[in-house]
Structure 1
Amino acid sequence: MMFLDPDSEESLVNQIVSGISLAIKEHRLKSGSKLPSIRKFAQTHKVSHFTAVEAYDRLVALGHLTPVRNAGFYVRSNPGNPRPDPVPEPHEEDTEFDFDAHLLLQKVFQPMGMELRPGIGLLPEQWTDHDGLQRGLRTLARNEPGSFSGYGQAKGSPRLRAKLAEKLADTRISAHPEQIMLTSGGSHALDLVTRYLVQRGDSVLVDEPGYHNLFLNLRLQGAKLLGVPRTLDGFDLEVLEALIIQHRPKVFFTNTRLHCPTGTSLSLAVAHRVLQLAEKYDFLIVENDIYADLDTTGQQALAGMDQLSRVIYIGSFSKTIAPALRVGFVAAHQELIDELVPLKLVSGLTTSELTEELALTVLLQGRHRKHVKQLQSNLADAHETVARLLEGVGMELFVKPHAGMFLWARHPLIEDSTALATKARDEKILLAPGQLFMPNAQIVPWMRFNVAHSLDERIYRLLEREIERL
């Protein structure tokens, strides 16, 4: 066990990197030896998951460790050599399965043998607007075959931005096309806004639980994350104001509608109070509203109540058209958008005008509105079925939203949902333990279920069997 001094001026990450590097140099860690998993290291040394992840990643970058997919981290035979050692595929009995946000991201894009994935954040492929995409591609190929050979405009397709301005106006958000910047999906929008607003050492408010990918991004920026507990109608307002008074954050990142992972939405009273606090204590709000089109209630966004004064609004087409499209957007006051554009250009030049025009073509099809209505109906049916199945094995639901993609559930006898998720791996089932969605990565009993991927009876047989063993 390594001694770490939390009161030292040297960061915990640097202490871990120095300690492991020294152990390798002094041959206390032999070539080819396996390090503890990230989760075990964090638990043993009482550090956060994020600290352990950053330290291990830095040791890999320095050439001291070799990561082996689905197996863990090993000491290189030639530490410091940037060329990786050839490592044999691990035996099944040696395989470790750490649950952290990195793993969840990998499992989304690389299923790696998982047959069922109720824990992921995507809709099934057959639920996307596949027909709309095909029709859109044919339309573009027929009508504008030679129009997409350049980089496009810095803010993105003017025609799509104009359409988005109309779409936002329908939801009572007033935005001129010049107040809208297109991005490569919602995550890209969050990344640009994060890098623009957040500097190392800044205190930022986030949902607790909340979006794991955002937490990783903010940690990389050196931010101090302040978790605001989610409640059935939005937030614990007393905790929120106490955090604001104590830490004076500059920004609050929040998913206001059909929240990931709890499925909750802000009540009108809570929304008004949040905007009052932002005005009183002078901070910005980044409203991640990527599930807006799945909402059947017509709830007004914070951006509509604030009219983009203190609210920066983020949206995406990943849920209603397809994630492969990679088209999202940021809407904000003109000055902020103009300052975001150079950051977008530096980080990746322009976004794809081809995919932007494809998104526009799909939106202009009359059938897309029918697709969204059908998607809402499919999700409502899945919510009803999955809620019944979860409750049937003794799970408690945080809320029943009847819309959106997620249910947040726990069992009264389960304290560590991460342990249950690890057992599910042997059944080739990917669960999403609540630890992934906590800003400080603490273990909790809650789990996120994507209702569209949670209709298979094998999931509930697993849950029932593991619960019976408690």
Structure 2
Amino acid sequence: MITLDPSLPMPLVRQLYDALLAQIASSAMKPGDKLPSVRALAKDCEVSTMTVTNAYQRLVAEGHVQARRASGYYVAEVERAATRRKPFLGRTSVDSLWLLKHVYEDDRTLLNAGCGWVPPEMLHIGGVQRALAALSRKSAAGLANYGTPYGYLPLRQQIQTLLAQKGIETAPHQIVLTHGASQALSLVARCLLQPRDVVLVDEPGSTNLFAMLRSMDLKLVGVERTVNGPDLTALQALAQRHGAKAFFTTTNLHNPTGGQCTPAVAYQMLRLAEQLDFRIVDNDAMAGLEPPGATSLASLDRLQRVIHVGSFSKTVSPSLRVGFVACNEEFAEKMILQKMVNSLTTSELTERLLHGVLVEGRYRAHLARLAERLRTAQNTVCERLETAGMQLFTRPAGGPFLWARFERDDVDMRALAQRAISESFLLAPGDLFRTDLRPTPWLRFNVGYADDPKLYRFLAQEARRLRQKG
């Protein structure tokens, strides 16, 4: 019998994980033994099925337990040594925060409240499994080839259909498949920019994008993000001052703020791009999760100055690593050359697999369910963060990301992050999302992971401590 104590500061998932791991280590549960069903254990421990599922998935991820389809969970036949890492308690420089972020990405014993991915249980894994089974029954023709530089044609045609539903008219030869959105953004940057060029980016924005652009010896200049989109006055001034050739942004469900561009801001962005002769690279990573009627820069611009980047990592599975670029014909030809130099072609096998997922007939229903789950989670987490004493940048209309802050500006976020780790939480401090690494009281939350009573209690305690500080 496993007993969990909700009054303890340790999250229930961690308590359950530790209890199960102790039973396995002590041989109370032996290799091959079947674990209780998710529902049965949730009932016995008086917790949610999600808590049990997360604990089981952590045990599976570390090799202690095996998941057997349509059968359940079993103690692994060959138990691997526990690989949990100890919290990093050394100096708290910016570099160490980067280290913290990456060291703990795969540590299933921490509640990663600010991570950048959608929970696996929300993704379309069933669709991937069915498409994989169907693909294995087909002819092997094409599976031993490099494929074409543009990518698997039937998948590009399917993406063409998806884009048309958003008002983006394009042709298959204007779509280039890539190894995820990361490669798409890298190839676009190489086509547009030269070393030491200035590139404009959202401020705050994607840490991974910042690192990629810096690796190309580019100078990053941030355009502050408002609740309505990029600050147009700043965008105009910075583009003029630096002669910028490109602005990398996210129109819908922005990372990390969760915000969206209003139609008025979108129109003015396009006018500035034309007047000042720069390209807009719109990273539509959350495609399909945005609310109805959301603004599409590529639709308004007809892919003249807008380069549209997409991916299926947030909706199907990040393990497929399939992204794409939709652009005008001239730029697509430049992309092909860069792609061939960079990696020859992309994997036709994974492109065929994704095509099978999209045409199976269940993808649209999955998208609708996922979007609704994230909208519901947004509402819940927003309300509870406000109750804990935090202020919201905006109430996002969907997606996983949420930007919230403490009332005071002089919060030592590095010390806060260290205290959070000691409480088994991993937070995402706002300075990691700034080009200048300027201290900021903001935090990024992922609503798929952040809805935890102990996290809210921790944040409320921090908010009270800051108010008492005066």
- Equivalence for 1:316: 311
Residue 383 of structure 1, CA deviation:
0.6
- Equivalence for 1:194: 189
Q: Distance in 1 between matches of 2:282 and 2:303?
A: 10
Q: Distance in 1 between matches of 2:416 and 2:85?
A: 22
8 Å CA contact 1:418–1:443 kept in 2: the answer is no
**159, 176, 180: which is aligned to 1:185?**
180
Residue 162 of structure 1, CA deviation:
1.0
* Structure-2 change in CA distance of 1:390 and 1:154 (3 Å): same
- Equivalence for 1:365: 360
* Structure-2 change in CA distance of 1:403 and 1:92 (3 Å): closer
Q: Distance in 1 between matches of 2:298 and 2:277?
A: 16
8 Å CA contact 1:104–1:120 kept in 2: the answer is no
Residue 105 of structure 1, CA deviation:
6.2
Residue 339 of structure 1, CA deviation:
1.2
Whether 1:120 aligns to 2:97 is no
Residue 195 of structure 1, CA deviation:
2.0
Whether 1:205 aligns to 2:203 is no
**328, 336, 358: which is aligned to 1:333?**
328
8 Å CA contact 1:254–1:287 kept in 2: the answer is yes
Q: Distance in 2 between matches of 1:277 and 1:366?
A: 41
* Structure-2 change in CA distance of 1:161 and 1:102 (3 Å): farther
* Structure-2 change in CA distance of 1:398 and 1:94 (3 Å): closer
- Equivalence for 1:424: 420
Q: Distance in 2 between matches of 1:219 and 1:202?
A: 11
Structure 1 length normalisation: TM-score?
0.77
8 Å CA contact 2:179–2:322 kept in 1: the answer is yes
Query: Which structure 2 residues correspond to residues 284-323 of structure 1 after superposition, within 5 A?
Result: 284-323=279-318
8 Å CA contact 1:113–1:428 kept in 2: the answer is no
Q: Distance in 1 between matches of 2:436 and 2:429?
A: 14
Query: Which structure 2 residues correspond to residues 14-93 of structure 1 after superposition, within 5 A?
Result: none
- Equivalence for 1:77: none
Q: Distance in 1 between matches of 2:287 and 2:363?
A: 15
Q: Distance in 1 between matches of 2:414 and 2:101?
A: 16
Deviations 1:15-48 (A, max 9, x none): xxxxxxxxxxxxxxxxxxxxxxxxxxxxxxxxxx
Could you tell me which amino acid in structure 2 is paired with residue 112 of structure 1? D
Deviations 1:250-288 (A, max 9, x none): 111001111001111111111110100010011111111
Q: Distance in 2 between matches of 1:103 and 1:230?
A: 26
- Equivalence for 2:234: 239
- Equivalence for 2:383: 388
8 Å CA contact 1:393–1:463 kept in 2: the answer is yes
8 Å CA contact 1:296–1:403 kept in 2: the answer is yes
Runs of 4+ aligned residues of structure 1 deviating over 4 Å after TM superposition are 89-94, 96-102
**338, 343, 362: which is aligned to 2:338?**
343
**166, 170, 173: which is aligned to 1:175?**
170
**SS at the partner of 1:409?**
strand
Deviations 1:307-360 (A, max 9, x none): 111111100000110111110001111111111112212222211111111111
- Equivalence for 1:375: 370
- Equivalence for 1:399: 394
Q: Distance in 2 between matches of 1:459 and 1:330?
A: 38
Work out the number of aligned pairs and report it.
381
**SS at the partner of 2:404?**
strand
Query: Which structure 2 residues correspond to residues 428-447 of structure 1 after superposition, within 5 A?
Result: 428-447=424-443
Q: Distance in 2 between matches of 1:91 and 1:381?
A: 34
* Structure-2 change in CA distance of 1:91 and 1:227 (3 Å): closer
Could you tell me which amino acid in structure 1 is paired with residue 396 of structure 2? P
Pick which of 137-146 and 90-99 moved more.
90-99
8 Å CA contact 1:418–1:434 kept in 2: the answer is no
Structure 2 residue ranges without an equivalent (≥5)? 1-83
Could you tell me which amino acid in structure 2 is paired with residue 103 of structure 1? L
**458, 462, 467: which is aligned to 2:458?**
462
**SS at the partner of 1:366?**
coil
8 Å CA contact 1:191–1:217 kept in 2: the answer is yes
**95, 103, 112: which is aligned to 2:99?**
103
Deviations 1:76-120 (A, max 9, x none): xxxxxxxxxxxxx99868645655584376257x42365201111
* Structure-2 change in CA distance of 1:242 and 1:327 (3 Å): same
Residue 123 of structure 1, CA deviation:
0.7
Deviations 1:144-180 (A, max 9, x none): 3454111111111011011111111111111110011
8 Å CA contact 2:98–2:432 kept in 1: the answer is no
Could you tell me which amino acid in structure 2 is paired with residue 441 of structure 1? L
Pick which of 283-292 and 238-247 moved more.
238-247
Pick which of 392-401 and 216-225 moved more.
216-225
Q: Distance in 1 between matches of 2:346 and 2:165?
A: 25
Structure 2 length normalisation: TM-score?
0.77
8 Å CA contact 1:114–1:429 kept in 2: the answer is no
**405, 412, 417: which is aligned to 2:407?**
412
Q: Distance in 1 between matches of 2:167 and 2:109?
A: 42
* Structure-2 change in CA distance of 1:350 and 1:302 (3 Å): same
* Structure-2 change in CA distance of 1:255 and 1:241 (3 Å): same
